Amino acid sequence: MAEAHQAVGFQFTVRPDGVDVKLSQEVIKNIYLSGVTAWEKRAIQFKNGILTGVYPASPSSWLIVVIAMMSSLYIHIDPSLGMIDTIKDNLPHRDYISVQTRAVLSTILFATGLWLFLIYLLRYTLKALLSYHGWIFESHGKMSTSTKVWLSLVKMFSGRRPLLYSFQASLPRLPVPSVDDTIHRYLESVRPLLDSEQYSQMEILATDFKNSKAAQLQRYLILKSWWGTNYVSDWWEEYIYLRGRSPIMVNSNFYIMDLLYLTPTHRQAARAGNVVHAMLQYRRKLERGELAPLRALGTVPMCSTQMERIFNTTRIPGIETDTVQHLTDRKHLVVYHKGRFFQVWLYTGGRHLLPSELETQFQRILNDTSEPQLAELKLAALTAGNRVPWALARVKYFSQGRNKVSLDAIESAAFFLTLDDEPQGYDPANTKSLDSYAKSLLHGKCYDRWFDKSFTLISYPNGKMGVNAEHSWADAPIVGHMWEYVLATDCFHLGYTEEGHCKGDVNKGLPHPTRLQWQIPKECQDVIETSYLSAKQIADDVDFHGYLFTEFGKGLIKKCRSSPDAFIQLALQLAQFRDQGVFCLTYESSMTRMFRDGRTETVRSCTSEAVAFVRAMEDAGATNAQRLALFRKAADKHQHMYRLAMTGSGIDRHLFCLYIVSKYLGVDSPFLKKVLSEPWKLSTSQTPQQQLNLVDINKFPKYVGAGGGFGPVADDGYGVSYIIVGENLITFHISSKFSSPDTDSCRFSQHIRKAMLDIQALFKPENDKKTVEHTEHVQLENGKKHI
């Protein structure tokens, strides 16, 4: 045990002549190195904090300003317009300071004030520049002169070598759209889904709301937008995630898969060792702010606030609402294996454990044959069930004694690791392999993931990995960013020996992982079992199907002069109509991270233009030319809606916040109630690839990720996540419920495939014509050369 190992380092014996104290040199060395590392970390964080605080200027620029002002003393020019003399005359204790010293101090003070003023001027100039979003509405591949000038100015004011949080103070606030615009866009979005009578009723509700209650609610919302950094995000986190009392497993948590085609090593402990070490490297960069901020077009910065809570974070259950607990500098993780919980320290001698050392620790856990304690096996099912029973049990049974100590160890851990005992992963020979893999990541056995942790890392016996992430603290791209770094570091920087072990010497002198101790009374066991049965019912109802679309990908879609996302979204609309025979309210997630503390916005993909296109595809009398024209119109509309959502002019977050204000004020709004109660029967999301520089897919085509997914949002609907990988692969993750007689995830995947191929067929005449023209051009050029 670690505690026992550490106790050996300090011994004392009581003798008649006094106390004989013995100290272990190894322990003293480790304590010394830990202290040195801690101070180094503080120094680096302090330095980077200063660099971020004065960005886009630099600390050295202060010296330049001071020297420039000091030189004015010798050339008898006063650039301060008398302010330096005013400061000099009002210095405290000036009678005890020489004239020359007073002049120098006054100049330094004025220079410092001028420097700070220039920093704020640069910062607010950059914020004003970043508030311009005209560039995003321009056609792909075309850039106006004004946008080129704007881009040059943004680059000029952005400074050099920004750190992760350098741009935070310069990001604009999320704007509050006008009520008129939001209601107009909302009515436009539901028009294709309602008949004339239903639409007329909705128009009446909307008009009544606009003319009566909207102005009052909007004023409060504008006030909140001025006071807070973001008028949506805190309410979104609280009311959409933390106040939900139903299980978060499947309903909220999401998952991310490993590399699709490759497994770097088939040794479970070794793969876990490399991945955990890579995560610790990422965490160190994150804590120091040394990661490069994400930037659209390589220039426009994205908000990095969500990244602060990737590690050391846990969702704590409450009776009415949960809370998110974020700690700093956690030095251990908790590992679950075959019903036992182990605590593993991540540091030794003031440094991270090496991959080979982590492999040794995980292998010790895998070799441990001890049995689970009473009720320990399914203990984590508490986090998978309803929130109120878990909150009550936590207070009653886990607030003191060994249970509290063990629960604190889990909730304060850097993250949670499960060493699974059943292999998973993609197998080309098994069409159901992705289905099983996804369900394992999404819910497992309902008691072998700690669903409250910011993320649970899952390791399989065949070397495959995956992540189950809690959703309240951040959105999927944040976890995806970390996972991209981890996989690239694992494969291309850390590597493995020929035998598949982690590189480096084996250190068998490390203290063994320690078992967490529990004392679970019968009443708590009953709560655990009830939570498990509730969670198992949800898990067993998840109908999941993973589908690899390999006929074509982003490369061909771009040749068709179409947005890949718009192409896929229209294919989903066509697949949905063919599967269900009706159109439905469709949710596509978009990000608003160009604004301070931005999270997501909804793109309502089922537009009137999309409906017209789908109907033309199903109309035998329509020509391909007509269908293609309608496709382009629908794709343009979708791109426009997506751009509006990204730039703060979406529909749903504004209406959501108006509804929250109405509840605070006790104002009843039938319109807002109607809007917020509408079911999303088709919920979609694209998993973005954010760090294309980490892996050259053209050079390493097998090193591609499989993306991730989520559970169905509606009882009788579909959840579809997709990732566009390289030029020739699109992976779909489709979920629904077995209990619904109207849905079938496998069937829906075939509808998606058919829809993708049918849409692509519309472009064949265009592509064939381009190919012929290109061939004729090449032949003509060759003929000229021959002549």
Residue pLDDT, tens place only, 232-255: 999 999 999 999 999 999 999 999
pTM reported for the whole predicted model: 0.88
Euclidean distance between CA atoms 155 and 651, whole angstroms: 31
The verdict on whether omega for the bond into residue 56 sits within 30 degrees of 0, i.e. cis, is yes
Please tell me the distance from the alpha carbon of residue 735 to that of residue 747, in angstroms, as a whole number.
11
For residue range 332-349, what is the model confidence (pLDDT) as tens digits? Answer: 999 999 999 999 999 887
- Is pLDDT above 60 for 3? no
Instruction: State the Cα–Cα distance between residues 769 and 555, nearest whole angstrom.
Output: 18
Instruction: Identify the band that residue 70 occupies on the pLDDT scale cut at 50, 70 and 90.
Output: confident
pLDDT at 378 over 60: yes
All residues at 6 or more sequence positions from 347 whose CB lies less than 8 Å from its CB, including other chains: 34, 37, 331, 353
Residue 259 in this model has a pLDDT that exceeds 80: yes
Q: Which of 218, 286, 244 is nearest to 660 (CA)?
A: 218
Which pLDDT does position 104 carry in this prediction? 80
Where residue 120 falls (left for φ over 0; alpha for ψ -120 to 50; beta otherwise) is alpha
Mean pLDDT of 59-69: 82
Query: Residue 468 and residue 466: Cα distance in Å, rounded?
Result: 7
- How far the first Cα of the chain sits from its last, in Å, is 85
- Give the residue-averaged pLDDT of 656-673: 94
Architecture label for domain 179-185+199-239+544-768:
2-Layer Sandwich (3.30)
Does residue 574 or residue 25 have the better pLDDT? 574
Q: What is the DSSP letter of 605?
A: -
Reported as a pLDDT band with limits 50, 70 and 90, residue 380 is very high
Give the distance from CA 463 to its chain's centroid: 24
Q: String of b and e for 266-286 (b: at least 16 CB within 10 Å)?
A: ebbbbbbbbbbbbbbbbbeeb
Select the more confidently predicted residue: 595 or 13: 595
pLDDT bucket at 2, cuts 50 / 70 / 90: very low
Fold held by 253-294+327-541:
Chloramphenicol Acetyltransferase (3.30.559)
In the predicted model, what is the mean pLDDT of the chain?
A: 89
The confidence score (pLDDT) of residue 90 equals 77
Residue 507: pLDDT band by 50, 70, 90 thresholds? confident
Which of 125-129, 206-210, 578-582 has the weakest average pLDDT?
Answer: 125-129
User: Which of 131-140, 482-491, 636-645 is the least confident region?
Assistant: 131-140
Residue 783 confidence (pLDDT) above 70: no
In the block, tokens 């509405």 appear at: 137
Please confirm, yes or no, whether 774 is among the known catalytic residues: no
pLDDT of residue 266: 96
Whether the pLDDT of residue 73 is over 50: the answer is yes
Q: How far apart are CA 246 and CA 156, in angstroms?
A: 49
Which is the catalytic residue, given 471, 481, 501, 733? 471
Query: Tokens 């008649």 label which residue?
Result: 16
Q: What is the pLDDT of residues 596-649, one digit of tens each?
A: 999 999 999 999 999 999 999 999 999 999 999 999 999 999 999 999 999 999
Q: How confident is the model at residue 556 (pLDDT cuts 50, 70, 90)?
A: very high
- What's the rounded Cα separation, in Å, for the pair 473 and 254? 12
pLDDT at 787 over 60: no
SS (H, E, C) 16-57: CCEEEEEECHHHHHHHHHHHHHHHHHHHHHHHHHHHHHCCCC
Is the Cβ–Cβ distance between 364 and 512 less than 8 Å? yes
* Predicted pLDDT at 234: 94
Residue 34 has pLDDT above 80, yes or no: no
Read off the pLDDT of residues 82-93 as tens digits, 9 standing for 90 and up.
Answer: 787 787 777 787
The residue that leads in pLDDT, 222 or 9, is: 222
- Nearest of 248, 226, 244, 102 to residue 176 by alpha carbon: 226
Confidence (pLDDT) at 407: 97
In this predicted structure, the answer to whether residue 786 has a pLDDT above a threshold of 50 is no
Instruction: Write out the two tokens for 620.
Output: 């035998």
Q: What percent of the chain has pLDDT over 90?
A: 69
More confident residue, 25 or 618: 618
The answer to whether residue 71 scores a pLDDT higher than 90 is no
Average pLDDT (459-478) is 96
**413 touches 333 (CB < 8 A):** yes
Segment (H or E) for 313: strand 313-316
**Per-residue pLDDT, 296:** 84
Read off the pLDDT band of 578 (50, 70, 90): very high
pLDDT at 23 over 70: no
Reported as a single tens digit per residue, the pLDDT across 696-717 is 888 888 888 999 999 999 999 9
Residues 6 or more apart from 431 whose CB is under 8 A from it? Answer: none
- Average pLDDT on 279-297 reads 91
SS3 654: helix
Q: What is the pLDDT of residue 6?
A: 41
Which of 708, 280, 282, 692 is closest to 471 using CA atoms? 708
User: Average pLDDT in the 112-129 region?
Assistant: 88
Whether 417 shows a pLDDT value over 90: the answer reads yes
Min mean pLDDT across 113-117, 667-671, 688-692, 758-762 is at 688-692
Label residue 160 by pLDDT band (50, 70, 90).
confident
Phi, psi of 54, rounded to the nearest 5 degrees: -100, 0
Copy the structure tokens of residue 525.
């066991």
Q: What pLDDT sits at residue 157?
A: 86
